[in-house]
Chains A and B, each alone.
Chain A
C-alpha cells in the first residue's frame, strides 16, 4: 500500500463546475495535510493546508479532512481553465517527512 494515494486522472471537469480531488494516506498518526498545485514545467505551489477534521475554505478552494477514514479531499468551486494543473496531496508522516501522492491531473474544459 502506498503511503499517500491519489487517482492519477486525468480528471476532466466543465468550466464552472465543482472539481473534487481525493487522497488517502496510510499513517493513522499523521496530523498535517497539504494540497499543492503544479503547472506543467513549474514547481509545486502550496494552495491549502489542513490540520483538523472538517472543512477549511479559502476562496474557491475547500479542503476536507477525515482522520478516522484517513481521507483528505480538495474541492474547487466555479472551476476555471486556469485551474488545469496537477494537484498533489502531501502528508507529514512518521519522522516528520513530507510524503507526496503521485498527483491528479485536472483539466477544466471551457
Chain B
C-alpha cells in the first residue's frame, strides 16, 4: 500500500508570494491533517480535513488555509509569505477523524527568502 505523498518536496519562495502544497493520503484514509515543524516551535497543528470539511484548526493566521477534495487529496495554501513561514510542512493521513493513528508523508521543505 502506498504511503502518504506530498508535492513538491522542496520550495523556495520570496516574501509576499503565495504557495500551494499538495498531499495525497493513504488509499482509504479520509482524514488529512497538516502540521508545521520548525526547530524552535516543534510540530504544530495547522488544520484537519475530513469529508471535504475542516474539522479542526490550530492557532495560525488566516494566511494559512486548506481544502480537501472528494478523493481525499488535500492542499494547503499560504498567502503573503513571511520569513518566519520557512519550515517543514507535514501532512498526515488517518482512516477517520478523531482518535485514529496518523501517518505522515515526507513533507515539503519551504524556504522563504
Contact = CB atoms under 8 A, between A and B. Distances in A.
Nearest to A34: B101
Interface stretch (A16-24, A60-68, A72-80, A99-107): A99-107
A43 B58 contact: no
A96 B43 contact: no
Contacts of A49: 101
Contacts, number: 48
Indicate the size class of the contact surface on chain A. 20 to 34
B25 interface: no
Contact of B102 (A46, A51, A101): A46
Indicate the size class of the contact surface on chain B. 20 to 34
A97 B106 CA distance: 21
Interface of A: 31-32, 34, 36, 42-46, 49, 51, 88, 92, 95-103
26 contacts: A34-B101, A34-B102, A36-B104, A42-B106, A43-B90, A43-B104, A43-B107, A44-B43, A44-B90, A44-B104, A46-B103, A88-B43, A92-B99, A95-B56, A96-B48, A96-B55, A96-B98, A96-B99, A97-B58, A98-B33, A98-B92, A98-B102, A100-B42, A100-B43, A100-B44, A101-B42
